[in-house]
Structure 1
Amino acid sequence: MEVQLQAPRPRRLLFFLICFFSGLATCRSAVDAPPTLIDSLPGFDGALPFRLETGYVTVDEENGGELFYYFIESEGDPRRDPLLLWLPGGDRCTVLQALLLQLGPLRFVIEPYNGTTATAPRLHHHPYSWTKAASVLFLDSPVGAGFSFSQNPKGYDVGEVSSSLQVKTFLTKWFTEHPDYLANPFYVGGASHAGKFVPFIAQKISEDIEAGMTPTVNLKGYLVGNPGISEGNFYEWKVPYLHGVAVISDQLYESIMENCQGHYTNPTNALCARDLERFDDLFGQIEHAHILYKKCDSVPSGPIDPIIERKILTEETGVLKHQPTCPPLDCQSYGGYLSYYWSNNNITRESLGIKKGSKDEWVLCDENDMPYSSDIESSLKYHRNMTSKGYRVLVYSGDHDAIIPFLGTESWVRSLNYPILDEWRAWHLDGQSAGFTITYKNNLTFATVKGGGHSVPEYQPERGLAIFSRWISGEPL
């Protein structure tokens, strides 16, 4: 296992000297450690067939908050291919979920694993990685997600707005240290809950560009998959969607329409409450992320108290508190089960360059105990602002997702009231329809992916790569 560290750049050396001789308190975390270049990983046989860099960037000087990233260069021409920043969905879900389970160049070998062996779960090369078409910068955000951490517990008290601004800080510092990528076409992307803050981040970057801030990023647009835009529970679209796919009956659908009158979150009468209780019971019979898949228990999230998190910065406890129950091998959640043991393996952490004491236990999502403010009421205005400026935008949905049904996404895209440039039509892969798409004025494209679930590249990797690679290269779907 060879882990290489980049030599400090002259700028870093100068800053270290200034800090040393001046004794500036702010220098404590102002200079981030050099990134780690990785040529092999536990569980993968042989050298990695791509360039992988990991590292930390300090985004909260006062509290010592640091975001952890994985940067994978394009398998094509990294000096010319687009650069995509990919952000995780969920309040504090790790981006490693996207890297190893969805759109990255590695995936787990799905095979029996009892969680007790010292050997990490095995990995194999993923042929439909989005790195075929772009370099991808995977970011654990907000602070507390994945391997990102804070020295002071106060650093975990963030929300959608503050953590988005920290992402912008991250980009400023990352591009300063990676100026070779400033000329590459740059895009921001994310799925699910990230749909709320991806357009907000893109707008903040565009405002910096307009203000002449440096370094100047070559922002071209953004993309969101199965995106949320507000804190609504999407009952409004779950009801007609689940009726259309025969999960609820005509009678129940008509009763909900009559009794609830659009009031799904807080029923205004007993009849509506009764109907929604029956709806929830039927909804609970299917796998929400993909209605055709086997219903399985998901890998549980694991809350970590911020006080405990602060304690483990100085003590290596080595105790895993949220070991998941092993799901059946044919469950989609099995990959998440494997990721828990792979990421909590000491050799894995050493290979990735994880700071000792920074993270006691890695979990897929940590949504329960740490404070997180949902302070972006709706992202619709940011979508409107960015598309009005002419930035390229792709909104895509898996058509078998019952968490955020495509009907709701199609509806808010249509509500922008942009003229249609290319009418609703099928898009194809290998001579067959792979979904349907419509293109609007202002560089806005909406598309469905046939057979896709809540995460398109997880359930339909070949179609996911096709839609991404065509769109980001400027080709028609």
Structure 2
Amino acid sequence: MPNIMYRFFIISLCLCVANSTSTGRIKYLPGFQGPLPFYLETGYVGVDVNEDVQLFYYFIHSESNPKDDPLMLWLTGGPGCSSISGLLFEIGPIEFEAVAYNGSLPSLISRSRSWTKMTNIIFLDIPVGTGFSYARTAHASCSNNILYSEHAYEFIRKWLESHMEFISNPFYIGGDSYSGNPIPIITQIISNGNEIGIKPYINIKGYVLGNPLTFPEEDNYKIRFANGMGLISDELYKSLFHSCQGEYRSDYINPDNVECLQNLALYEKCIDGIQQPQVLEPYCGDTESPIKLPRQMLSKERRLLSAFYCRFDETRLAYYWANDVGVREALRIRKESIGTWIRCNYDLNFTTIVDDVRPYHLNLSNKDYRSLVYSGDHDMVIPHQSTQAWIKDLGYIVIDQWRSWKVHGQIAGYTETYSNRMTYATVKGGGHTAPEYKPEECFVMFKRWIHGQPL
């Protein structure tokens, strides 16, 4: 593996874990009626030199058997998207009530298909500058995907030091979208740390990836996806393939290749107005932020859009909730952390150093870790064809051939399992990311997998 993977060990051995965490249990949340029906803890853990990076997290006990159930660290994509996305919109035990916004604090209700029914989950705001995580110095605000991975490793070590009751639980790392890049790196770092005896020993068993970013060529599969979905004609697809020679990324196209550029212009025209996170849903524009809309306007906008469902109407509620003073006090958010909370901070000072993590998957396959990789099959952001391509590149033998998997007797997707203990699954009708669009199917999928059952 790259030498950069190992430079963290010298730093790690010198770090002091004492007094590095600040935590607290929360029994009530503004917007939720009555006491929370689950254990919620929030807190900050300081990482990096002098703990100048302060990472914020939400921790929820398994609602079954927290003492013995697996512990999972969940990372949202972006990079820079708050873990509130995973907590409130994907796999957590609460969600916003789906009603028109009326200017008051959005209401929260219980989610019956939460992955916390069978797993302890830490939802982490990472990298620095994401969600409520913050830097105490300008230098500490700079990050990259290797530093992100080292920070995540330091976080889980320090978190376990202050939660020793979970140190023997089976440990998994999960996440979606961009987190498909750092998760294999983090898993490798944890494995390396265990092998050389860094304490505490982390009982890692595997990882879970949804609609994961994995290698640079993934964008090339969008055109194949568009053709398969009937968004472009067979003729245009064939012309694109031959004129561009299978390479459609703008930075790699010869500017003198006029035919390729003309075909790409036709392709862009065809997909203009397509909602790429889920191609069957109505196009709702390029932004979800309500900042440009006065509070009193959102309910009116929803009425104007009542002819179709716009998912952004729900994600906007997070802005009003997370920026409420009472909510921040309840969550114990430090006043010096951030100003206005935003769901996805795309203005991070962040770079991607390693952009192809297939070698990490290959190396991890030799360590007997389990892995679940799944794709919403209507996601055009990271098409399922690209995920299947890099899995095939690993070269492992298929031990459970491509077949359907079902929920309530209905096909929920298709799955294949490989000799490296990797299970791949599509989620029929799922988008980017799948649990947000198909919560019941993804709940059943994860429950079967985490219990060691075939999908």
- The one-letter amino acid paired with 1:54 is T
Work out whether 1:78 is the aligned partner of 2:66: yes
Are the aligned partners of 1:247 and 1:283 in contact in 2 as well (CA < 8 Å)? yes
**In 2: Cα distance, 1:72 partner to 1:231 partner:** 34
Q: What is the CA-CA distance between 1:63 and the residue it aligns to?
A: 6.5
Which residue in 1 is equivalent to 2:364? Answer: 386
**2-structure distance, mates of 1:155, 1:281:** 42
TM-score for both structures, normalised by structure 2? 0.91
3-state DSSP of counterpart to 1:238:
helix
Alignment partner of 1:226 is 2:211: yes
Which residue number in structure 1 is paired with residue 329 of structure 2? 350
CA–CA separation in structure 1 for the residues paired with 2:125 and 2:345: 12
Determine if the alignment matches structure 1 residue 277 to structure 2 residue 265: yes
1:405-452 Cα distance to aligned partner (Å, 9 max, x none):
101101110111111111111111111111111111021111111111
Distance (whole Å) between structure 2 residues aligned to residue 145 and residue 322 of structure 1? 23
Matched residue SS, 2:57: strand
Q: Is the 8 A contact 2:148 2:182 kept in 1?
A: no
Summarize the alignment of residues 402-421 of structure 1 with structure 2, pairs less than 5 Å apart: 402-421=380-399
Query: What is aligned with 2:5?
Result: none
Partner of 1:249: 233
Q: Identify the residue that residue 7 of structure 2 maps to in structure 1.
A: none
Equivalent residue, structure 2, for 1:194: 179
Match in the other structure for 1:340: 319
1:180 and 2:174 are equivalent in the alignment: no
Alpha-carbon spacing, 1:364–1:126, altered in 2? closer, same or farther (3 Å): same
Q: Distance in 1 between matches of 2:268 and 2:214?
A: 22
Displacement after TM superposition at 1:281 (Å): 2.0
Distance 1:83 1:63, change over 3 A: closer
> Is 1:376 aligned to 2:354, yes or no?
yes
Partner of 1:236: 220
- 1:456 aligned residue: 434
1:469 aligns with 2:447: yes
2-structure distance, mates of 1:208, 1:32: 20
Deviations 1:448-473 (A, max 9, x none): 11111111110000001011111111
Which runs of 5 or more residues in structure 2 are unaligned? 1-14
- Whole-Å Cα distance in 2 between the matches of residues 359 and 396 of structure 1? 33
Q: Distance in 1 between matches of 2:410 and 2:293?
A: 44
CA distance in 1, matches of 2:177, 2:91: 14
| 1:33 CA displacement | 5.1
Residues 336, 206 of structure 1: CA spacing in aligned structure 2 closer, same or farther, 3 A cutoff?
same
CA contact (8 A) 1:230 1:376 kept: no
State the TM-score, normalized to the length of structure 1: 0.86
Q: Secondary structure at the match of 2:73?
A: strand
Partner of 1:262: 246
Cα distance in 2, alignment partners of residues 163 and 123 from structure 1: 31
Change (3 A) 1:415 1:45: same
| Equivalent residue for 1:88, pick from 76, 83, 96 | 76
| Alignment deviations for residues 32-83 of structure 1 (CA, whole Å, 9 cap, x no partner) | 4531211111111111110000000001244721000000001100001111
**Percent of aligned pairs with the same amino acid:** 41
Distance in structure 2 (CA, Å) of the matches to 1:343 and 1:463: 28
Quick check: 1:210 aligned with 2:198? no
Deviations 1:333-384 (A, max 9, x none): 112100000000000000000011221110011112x310111121101111
Q: Deviations over 1:261-310 (max 9, x none)?
A: 123123320111111111122222211001111111254569xxxxxxxx
- 1:241–1:405 Cα contact (<8 Å) kept: yes
Output one character per residue of 1:385-410: Cα deviation in whole Å (capped at 9) or x when no partner.
11121100111111110111101101
Post-superposition shift, 1:211? 1.1
Q: Distance in 2 between matches of 1:51 and 1:147?
A: 20
1:170 to 117, 140, 155: 155
Per-residue displacement from partner, 1:315-345 (whole Å, max 9, x unpaired)?
A: xxxxx89979846362111121000000000
Please state how far the C-alpha of 1:212 moved relative to its aligned partner. Answer: 1.5
SS state at 2:99 partner: coil
- Residue in structure 2 matched with residue 16 of structure 1 by the alignment: none
Local SS of the residue matching 2:181: helix
What is the alpha-carbon root mean square deviation over aligned residues? 1.9
For 2:92 and 2:294, locate their aligned partners in 1 and report how far apart those are by CA, in whole Å.
25
Question: Which residue in the other structure is 1:424 paired with?
Answer: 402
Letter in 2 for 1:331: C
| Worse-superposed segment, 176-185 or 234-243 | 234-243
Question: After superposition, what is the alpha-carbon deviation per residue over 1:197-223, rounded to whole angstroms, capped at 9, x for unaligned?
Answer: 111101110111111211111100001
Over 3 Å counting, the alpha-carbon distance change for 1:321 and 1:172 in structure 2 is farther
Query: Could you tell me whether the CA contact under 8 Å between 2:415 and 2:426 is conserved in 1?
Result: yes
**8 Å CA contact 2:56, 2:125 repeated in 1:** yes
- Return the alpha-carbon distance in structure 2 between the equivalents of residues 294 and 50 of structure 1: 35
Give 1:165's aligned amino acid. E
Helix, strand or coil for the counterpart of 2:263? Answer: helix
5+ unaligned residues in a row in structure 1: which ranges? 1-25, 303-319
Letter in 2 for 1:444: M
Question: What SS is found at the alignment partner of 2:414?
Answer: strand
Specify the alignment match of 1:10 in structure 2.
none
Residue identity in the other structure for 1:81? D
Shift of 1:88: 0.9
The change in CA–CA distance for 1:383 and 1:465 in structure 2 (over 3 A counts) is same
